[in-house]
Amino acid sequence: MGRAMRAKFFLLSCLLLLPLWMGCPPRRPQPTIVDTSGRGAPPGGRPLRFGTIDALPPSPEPGFRVANTQQEWGGAPVQVDFATAMLLVASAGLAPTGGHSMTVQSVTEAAGELHVAVVQTAPGLNCPVPQAQEWVGTVVATEKVRLPVRFHVTQTQSQPCLEPPVASMACTVDGTDASGTSLHVPEGATVTCNASASRTDGGRGGPPARGSWALTTSPEGAAPQQIPDAPQTQLRLETPGRYVLQLTVADDQGTEATAEATLHVGGPQQQTTVKLEWAPATEGGATVDLPFTLHVFRSRRDCSPGSRTPPAWCSAETPASPSAPRTVTLPADAAVGRFDIAVDYPSGNRPGEAVAQITVAIDGMTIAEWRDTETREAGFRWEPGAITLPNATIETE
Q: Tell me how far apart the terminal alpha carbons of the chain are, to the nearest angstrom.
A: 116
CATH of the domain spanning 271-396: 2.60.60
What pLDDT does 9 receive? 32
Q: Across the chain, what does the average pLDDT equal?
A: 84
Mean pLDDT computed over 349-368: 82
Return d(Cα 127, Cα 305) in angstroms, integer. 59
CA 269 to chain centre: 33
Nearest to 265 by CA among 241, 244, 287, 246: 241
Which pLDDT band holds residue 85 (cuts at 50, 70, 90)? very high
Mean pLDDT on 176-200: 86
The answer, yes or no, to whether residue 275 has pLDDT greater than 90, is yes
The dihedral sign for the CA sequence 55, 59, 60, 63: negative
Gap between the Cα atoms of 111 and 118, Å rounded:
19
In CATH terms, the superfamily for domain 170-265 is Immunoglobulins (2.60.40.10)
pLDDT of residue 12: 31
Provide the pLDDT for residue 250.
86
Q: Let me know: does 278 contact 323? Beta carbons within 8 Å.
A: yes
pLDDT digits (tens, 9 = 90+) for 24-61: 444 567 889 999 988 888 988 999 999 999 999 998 89
Confidence of residue 178 (pLDDT cuts 50, 70, 90): confident
Confidence band for 351, pLDDT divided at 50, 70 and 90? low
pLDDT at 23: 43
Range in 104-108, 232-236, 249-253, 381-385 with the lowest mean pLDDT: 249-253
Residue 201's pLDDT is: 75
Which range among 55-64, 199-208, 211-220, 319-328 shows the weakest confidence by mean pLDDT? 199-208
Mean pLDDT of the region 266-280: 89
Sorted by where each begins, the domain ranges of the chain are 1-27, 31-157, 170-265, 271-396
Burial of 326 (0-12, 13-18, 19+ CB in 10 A): buried
The lowest-confidence range among 61-75, 106-120, 363-377 is 363-377
pLDDT of residue 129: 80
**Which residue has better confidence, 128 or 316?**
316
pLDDT beyond 70 at 7: no
pLDDT value of residue 10: 32
Average pLDDT estimate for 147-165: 88
b/e sequence 250-274, b meaning 16+ C-beta within 10 Å = bbebebebebebbbbbbbbeebbbb
> How high is the pLDDT of residue 355?
87
Lowest mean pLDDT across 24-28, 127-131, 196-200:
24-28
> Above 50 in pLDDT, residue 246?
yes
pTM for the complete prediction? Answer: 0.49
**Residue 6: which residues within 8 A CB-CB, separation 6 or more?**
none
Amino acid 396: pLDDT:
84
Inform me whether the pLDDT recorded for 203 exceeds 90.
Answer: no
Task: Pick the range with the lowest mean pLDDT from 5-19, 166-180, 284-298, 368-382.
Answer: 5-19
Of the chain, the percentage scoring pLDDT greater than 90 comes to: 45
- At 154, is the secondary structure helix, strand, or coil? strand
pLDDT-derived band at 335 (thresholds 50, 70, 90) equals very high
CB atoms inside a 10 Å sphere around CB 392: 20
Q: Answer yes or no: is pLDDT of 17 > 90.
A: no
